[in-house]
Amino acid sequence: MYARNVLRECMMGFVSVLGPTQGVQYEEFTVLSRRVDRMEHSIGSIVSKIDAVLVKLEAMEKAKLKRRETMGKILDSITEVS
């Protein structure tokens, strides 16, 4: 969304890095806007996949800690009996 707004502002001549802008043709803006939309969609998909991986990693870490805790309890009970 942000990138699309910047494109609109550039088209209208409000934003410029090098000085006043001349604006762009409507067709050119439409093409750029579609490209930005596709990029935003792709980035959103990538972020969703990264989030899913992080959730799985957190679950694995919790399981690892639980196993370690259980193993510690087992070993403690074995050493208490001896």
43/47 Cα distance (integer angstroms): 6
Nearest CA among 46, 36, 41 for reference residue 11:
36
Output the six-digit token pair for 50: 């990264």
pLDDT, tens only, 25-75: 889 989 999 999 999 999 999 999 999 999 999 999 999 999 999 999 999
**R_g of the chain computed on alpha carbons:** 27
pLDDT, tens only, 11-29: 555 444 445 556 778 899 8
Output the six-digit token pair for 6: 């910047």
Task: Kindly report whether the global pTM for this prediction surpasses the value 0.75.
Answer: no
